[in-house]
Amino acid sequence: MTTPSAPTSVPGPRRTSVAFDLTDHRVWVTGASRGLGRAMALGFAAAGARVALTARSAGAVQEVADEIEELGGKPLVLVGSVSDSAAVSSSVAAIRESWGGLDALVNSAGVSPIFKRAELVDDEEWRHVLDVNVTGSFLCAREAGKLMLEGGGGAVVNISSIHGQVGMERMAAYSASKGAIDALSRTLALEWAERGVRVNTLSPGYFETDMTEALRGHRKWRGHLLSKIPLGRFGVPEEIVSAALFLASDASGFMTGSNMVVDGGWTAA
Ligand SMILES: NC(=O)c1ccc[n+]([C@@H]2O[C@H](COP(=O)([O-])OP(=O)(O)OC[C@H]3O[C@@H](n4cnc5c(N)ncnc54)[C@H](OP(=O)(O)O)[C@@H]3O)[C@@H](O)[C@H]2O)c1
């Protein structure tokens, strides 16, 4: 009987002693003017990362940039729509020009403007949600991905939703868009893994942001939502931040094509 040889250790390509370190990481956050995107942008800046901010509202995104400057950062402000291919290309050109590369993209820009039964959703409403949530995430991932592939690695964090996995009545377009983001993330993960770019999805449950305000304040739907959340409350935007930092950093270096859920327990049922 032969004795098996001692296992050889396979060094990780990006192993560091402080894997959660984001100092000087170059991070692009879309949807950074409000809500979860704003909280994540501030979280990255507080962790020492360089941050680029995108949203359509110049004034609101500048206010977030001002907050980051107060933390000692020098954010890039890249105003435009994520579903506008030319605007996305020029944003990535500006990142290349300023930073020479990119370490992480957080695709948080998204919309959920419709809450009605599927048979009442018109073509324009359907296309708008798919255009921003799916096409926008793809365009940013494609252009940022090229820059990361050139640089030999990086991380894409696509903000999806629990409704990519579990249905929700009156949210046909939104659920479809988030399911598409989940599938897109897995495919990008496979395509880019051997070239060092990891792609993961981060799926929030219900958080206290503008997007959910009407439902959270609704006489009937508020109770329905809370009944689905074992922790018995909505999340606050700061509670998504550490998951995003983890997925964007080397601490998650062996994760790609995964979906991390932060939902107060909704999908455990
Ligand atoms: N809040 C939740 O409970 C929850 C749950 C699950 C998933 N999510 C997801 O998390 C992400 C952030 O949601 P949130 O709650 O923070 O939403 P929010 O408060 O409504 O903020 C949305 C952000 O996206 C930006 N945005 C919208 N359309 C855009 C476009 N075409 N181009 C560029 N930026 C655009 C908005 O800025 P401008 O309007 O200035 O462009 C804003 O910064 C979304 O993808 C959402 O689907 C949220």
* Farthest CA pair distance, the chain: 73
What is the structure's pLDDT at 6? 44
pLDDT confidence band for 92 (50 / 70 / 90): very high
pLDDT score of 84:
98
Give dist(CA 158, CA 82) in Å, integer: 13
Residue 174 alpha carbon, nearest atom of ligand 1: 47
pLDDT reported for residue 2? 44
Residues with CB under 6 A from ligand 1: 30-37, 54-57, 60, 81-83, 108-112, 132, 136, 159, 161, 204, 206-207, 209-212
* CA atoms of 45 and 28, how far apart (whole Å): 11
Cα 91 to chain centroid distance, Å, stands at 17
pLDDT band at 15 (very low <50, low <70, confident <90, very high): low
Q: Give me the residue spans of the domains in the chain.
A: 26-263
Query: Is the confidence at residue 119, as pLDDT, over 60?
Result: yes
In the structure, what pLDDT confidence band is assigned to residue 3 with cuts at 50, 70 and 90? very low
Task: Quickly name the fold that domain 26-263 has.
Answer: Rossmann fold (3.40.50)
Better pLDDT: 14 or 55: 55
pLDDT at 134 over 80: yes
* DSSP 8-state symbol, 132: I
Read off the pTM: 0.95
For residue 220 the two structure tokens come to 């009937």
For 179-202, what is the mean pLDDT?
98
| Residue 96 tokens, joined | 């290349």
Ligand 1 centroid to 9 CA: how many Å? 43
Mean pLDDT of 8-32: 75
Residue closest by Cα to atom 45 of ligand 1: 110
Which residues are catalytic, by number? 174
Which atom of ligand 1 lies nearest, measured to the CA of 206? 3
Asked if the model's pLDDT at residue 20 lies above 70, the reply is: yes
